[in-house]
Amino acid sequence: MSNHKQHIYIIGSKGIPAKYGGFETFVEKLTQYKKSDNIQYHVACMNNGDNLYGNGQKHFNYNQADCFNITVPNIGPAKAIYYDMKALDYAIKLAEKDNNVAPIFYILACRIGPVINYYKKKIQKIGGKLYVNPDGHEWLRAKWPYPVRKYWKFSERLMVKYADLLICDSLNIEKYIKNDYHKYQPKTTYIAYGTELEKTQLTDNDESVEKWFEGKKITQDNYYLAVGRFVPENNYEIMIKEFMKSETTKDFVLITNIEENKFYKQLKKETRFDQDSRIKFVGTVYNQELLKYIREHAFASIHGHEVGGTNPSLLEALAYTNINLLLKVNFNLEVGGNGAIYWDKDEGSLKNVIDSLSEISLEKKDRVGLLAREIISQKFSWSNIVSSYEILFNQK
């Protein structure tokens, strides 16, 4: 490998080709849309013994990136921390062995704060830089027990302290980092998360489309849609309760994973949504083209995410669905701008929005959709995001 290239080591995604959303999709697009010949990516991949990436070879090439597998034993919740440490350790040795000039180590999420100073010294020794993506407010997520949340916050503080640069994918996260960690004078920059803009290749007589709509007993263009993880901070409880109070004859289709979910059982007991034939939990959809089609043919999307940076499912909703009903929090306002309709957690707020939409004209519906897509193509298309990263990585 020639040494004049800018070598970027990416730590913290599960790996590519992307099998998951979030950071995995980000790394996939970053390497797929790479334009600069000057950049060489090295991507850590997690090997649980399932040979998910590169058939378990130690090194393999994908999207012109040099990918390397890190074997991780199944040790429960600490697995991700162990993986980040092992991957960073290996990446530093690799950069040193190849005599890379000024390599950049880009860590996604703040899991290894307590040991980051140890690695920072090693990175400095070889003339490298430490970049961190602080992700969303992990320590606020209800799924984590209190001690874990305390760890996240502590870990985040140390990652912020020792990073040479924090790349935030949300302006609100950047503001929070600057305010909360003011004493460290953190150096930050903002580069958004991205989304695809191409419409689906599928048509209404494709077999996968027919099978899905018929199987789920759903009529095209006649349903509200919610897509996301089934966790309390995505406000499913309010969305379901408000929808049940509304007068609409349309369905509420929820694409989410509910297997073995305590929250699902508890919600069913509280809201009795199983008595309302409009509420339809339809499982997950991994076929991306089909998911695009389902989004394009939703009457409207409802988005209740409250925690995190720029949310991938929000970007997709704005890119493909005309009407988007977003929970009025800073993160969603920042992305949706005037291309969406907002509701809050007050009783009746979302119900009233849903009822008012029964009168919406086709013309107004198209107009709102056009605004949303303009916002997405100007600010959030993957090719723009990747260009911003390449400019940043090529700065000397």
One-letter amino acid of 190: Y
Domain boundaries, the chain: 6-194+381-394, 207-379
Cis peptide before 17 (omega within 30 of 0): yes
CA 142 to chain centre: 17
CATH number of 6-194+381-394: 3.40.50.2000
Say whether pLDDT at 2 is over 50.
no
Whether 207-379 and 6-194+381-394 are alike in CATH topology: the answer is yes
Residues 49, 70: Cα–Cα separation, whole Å: 10
Residue 142 is predicted with a pLDDT of: 72
3-class DSSP assignment, residue 225: strand
Q: pLDDT of 231-241, one tens digit each?
A: 888 999 999 99
> Band of the pLDDT at 308, cuts 50, 70, 90?
low
* Sequence-ordered alpha helix ranges (H) in 102-145: 113-125
What is the average pLDDT across 179-192?
Answer: 96
Task: Identify the sign of the CA torsion 72, 74, 78, 79.
Answer: positive
Whether the predicted pLDDT of 112 surpasses 70: yes
Partner residues linked to 44 by β-bridges: 68
Quote the pTM value. 0.86
* 391: three-class secondary structure by DSSP: helix
> Residues 221-227: what's their mean pLDDT?
97
Three-state DSSP at 352 gives helix
User: Residue 1 — pLDDT band, cuts 50, 70, 90?
Assistant: very low
CB within 8 Å of 113: residues ≥ 6 apart: 154, 155, 156, 157, 158, 159
- The model's confidence at residue 25, banded by pLDDT at 50, 70 and 90, is very high
59: closest CA among 68, 70, 50? 68
State the maximum Cα–Cα separation within the chain, in Å, rounded to a whole number.
67
Retrieve residue 240's tokens. 């379901």
Rounded Cα distance between 366 and 56, Å, is 48
Fold of the domain built from segment(s) 207-379: Rossmann fold (3.40.50)
pLDDT of residue 81 exceeding 60: yes
Lowest mean pLDDT, pick from 140-154, 234-248, 283-297: 140-154
Task: Determine the pLDDT at residue 232.
Answer: 85
